[in-house]
Chains A and B, each alone.
Chain A
Amino acid sequence: MAETVLTHSGQSTARLEGWRGIAADWASDQRAFKNVSWGKAMMWIFLLSDTFIFSCFLLSYMTARMSTTLPWPNPSEVFALNIGGKHIPLILIAIMTFVLISSSGTMAMAVNFGYRRDRVRTAILMLVTAAFGATFVGMQAFEWTKLIMEGVRPWGNPWGAAQFGSSFFMITGFHGTHVTIGVIFLIAIARKVFRGDFDVERRGFFTSRKGYYEIVEIMGLYWHFVDLVWVFIFAFFYLW
């Protein structure tokens, strides 16, 4: 449905302070969240739902790890690389995390330029973000390959509890899917931005509706969320 980016709240009278203000806002006319567009509200609520999915995954992993009878493989051994004859623990994952966090930075810059209607810079920064994301997924593929070559399978591994491989492939796979979907949408939206769809109000191919520059920010919300989730996966899976 077409909607414009909202600039004023429509409420001209003074706002109340504190909790009463929050209650009055929530219960107020037409919109519970003033100056929040439909798309942005929807993304926030979706992310809340997705948070529950990732929380359930991580809690299940923790339960499995605590209740399994066999010893859990040592992450700093398993996720170590031999580089130049040296055994460096967690090096790949450190680089991956760095890449993903950097992509959040470029995404934030893209949002900023999106607000300034800077077509070219927004598109380039989104593509850079997508490239970081693709790099992340590529390195994840490398890590999966390495572990599979070493004999790790979803149903077992050479070092201990089978749930190690099960949880690892499931959770990083689910997160990697999120990143991949994000990369696809980043490229699609970057193309629209670059072509000027949002300036000439061109209609979308699937939905026949006009898009707005705000979609860059909504995309950004998703992307930062996926990065934030990674921090938790990193902490609970690799550092525990």
Chain B
Amino acid sequence: MVDIPYEGIEGIPPAEVPDVELYHPRSWWTRYVFSQDAKVIAIQYSLTASAIGLVALVLSWLMRLQLGFPGTFSFIDANQYLQFITMHGMIMVIYLLTALFLGGFGNYLIPLMVGARDMVFPYVNMLSYWVYLLAVLVLASTFFVPGGPTGAGWTLYPPQAILSGTPGQDWGIILMMSSLILFIIGFTMGGLNYVVTVLQARTRGMTLMRLPLTVWGIFTATVMALLAFPALFVASVMLLLDRLLGTSFFMPSLVEMGTLSKYGGGSPLLFQHLFWFFGHPEVYIVALPAFGIVSDLISTHARKNIFGYRMMVWAIVAIGALSFIVWAHHMYVSGMFPQFGYFFATTTLIIAIPTAIKVYNWVLTLWRGDIHLRVPMLFALGFIITFVNGGLTGLFLGNVVVDVPLSDTMFVVAHFHMVMGVAPIMVVLGAIYHWYPKVTGRMLNDALGKFHFWVTFLGAYLIFFPMHYLGLLGVPRRYFELGDAAFIPTSAHSLNAFISVVALTVGFSQMVFLFNLAWSLFKGEASGGNPWRATTLEWQTPETPPGHGNWGKELPIVYRWAYDYSVPGAAEDFIPQNQPPRATQLIQGAAS
């Protein structure tokens, strides 16, 4: 980029936007409940997402109980198993990961990292959370309606999603669609805030190419979400109309329970196209914030500037753009025109290039760094390993001829859990260990954290690595029980039991983490404002946790990029973004 010299003090441009006027809460209700402060909204988002995420975690235990020990647990029947699968997938992907990364981390970090006092439209931001909460409540209510939640699989493919025979056909599917529509409305209100805040409300000196990669990741993911969720919105509306009004957008004429159904003339493939036009970008809506956050964790805890910052930014943007033209690689077995498969396989494999750039740059950032193996760093390293692993199996599934036999097997389950389940969750956990001191003013317990990491990381590997092998054997996904199929050896059954035991162990070890969160809130060691000695703006706030308006009287002024770690000649091994160059020179003079 071309540097334009500015008039003004020390090369810093004058403020283009007058300082904003904050809305000051006057009561307990507007301060903590109907709060317009992005930080409070972030915590509300995070707690709600975690709460519904715990439900999904319990569902996964129930599924594993059934898979590992079929026939042992009489309280799980085949219909329920399908319902567990569906709700586990939908909750984890949308209501937990999307909401946590964008609504949680986005709300907390964007204003702090770009040097703003709040999001640009705090009122709309508040509405966003309450609509999201409503969506979660509608979703959770499906567990209590007649027929229970839908069991259509998280992809909700018609025709089966709305036909009798699929569990939850009465209420579950209707409420699921309604909940998705609400989620998208709520997300749009928040997403507009995040995008406009990054684009138009940065503090003086914060050019786009000085943004921390966390902000780049969340920003790009939000833009993608604003363009991808419309497809899901439309698909949900149409499926809802098919179910409620008897339209036939997605429904061909078919025989249902021995009688010709009222439907006819619709296209089930249309739903798949709409769903995956949303669904594939969704993978990167979850992954890009993780990429961004992990870059910052690695750079901070390796005390080294991120390698190839500009390439990292372009890789994020390129992945975001490419992810809109790969969706049909989820549909190789759907009966598409075969040459489409060739096109989508090509675009899919091209994504490996920017992704590989990112992985190499993370590794090169670690190269000869002053690596501190603190808990956030452990999780960041765990992320790199699980992500590379999941990415490599993506190369298998991205190729049509390899995908066709592997499709609908446990291999697919192992792949996407590795790449968009475990890997982003690693980042979420690492990020919580990293930013918890800023949010609460206290450190999380280190010993519990290390225990949590090793159990989670090794456990996740023991769960999902053998699952690839099950997939290669041809063990199908989504099956309630395997029965006595000749091609499945008995060892596969023992492996399933083993996976279940590990999964329950890893699941329960998360309770250690929850205990740590609660315990440290009161008993944790006081952290001070900048425990990791990090450069980015959120660590330079006058108060910890940051007060209303974030910055006290004066907005910070940014003089440098976010990665001045271990600068030769500098007195400290980090230089905050808001430290003026003159002050640095003085220190340098003193040091020499």
Which residues of A are at the interface with B, using a C-beta cutoff of 8 A?
1-4, 6, 9-13, 16, 20, 23-24, 26-34, 36-38, 41-42, 45-46, 48-50, 52-53, 55-57, 60, 63-64, 67-70, 154-155, 161-163, 165-167, 170, 174, 206-210
Contact = CB atoms under 8 A, between A and B. Distances in A.
What is the predominant secondary structure among interface residues of chain B facing chain A?
loop
B15 A170 contact: no
A38 to B, nearest CB: 4
B78 interface: no
Contacts of A155: 245-248, 262
Contacts of B264: 69, 162
A27 B274 contact: no
A42 B192 contact: yes
A206 B119 CA distance: 17
Interface of B: 1-2, 4-7, 13-18, 20-23, 117-123, 188, 191-193, 195-196, 199-209, 226-227, 229-231, 233-235, 237-238, 241, 245-249, 262, 264-267, 270, 273-274, 277
A38 B120 contact: yes
A143 to B, nearest CB: 19
Most buried by A among B18, B117, B264: B264
Contacts of B233: 53, 56
B247 A166 contact: yes
Contacts of A3: 17-18, 20, 120
Contacts of A46: 188, 192
Nearest to A68: B265
A27 B266 contact: no
A32 B164 CA distance: 52
20 contacts: A1-B21, A3-B18, A4-B18, A24-B2, A29-B16, A29-B206, A30-B201, A32-B199, A32-B200, A38-B121, A41-B199, A42-B193, A46-B188, A49-B226, A53-B234, A154-B245, A162-B248, A165-B247, A166-B245, A170-B241
A31 B15 CA distance: 10
Nearest to A63: B270
Given A27-B209, A45-B226, A60-B274, A13 B7 contact: yes
Contact of B203 (A30, A60, A163): A30
A45 B21 CA distance: 24
B226 A11 contact: no
Contacts of A64: 249, 265-267, 270
Contacts of B14: 10
B242 to A, nearest CB: 8
Given A11-B4, A27-B208, 9 more contacts: A1-B20, A10-B15, A24-B1, A26-B208, A42-B192, A49-B227, A56-B277, A162-B247, A209-B21
B202 A60 contact: no
A185 to B, nearest CB: 14
A24, A41, A42, A46, most chain B CB atoms within 10 A:
A42
A170 B234 CA distance: 10
Contact of B200 (A36, A68, A167, A208): A36
Contacts of B1: 23-24, 27
Contact of A20 (B2, B16, B17, B192): B2
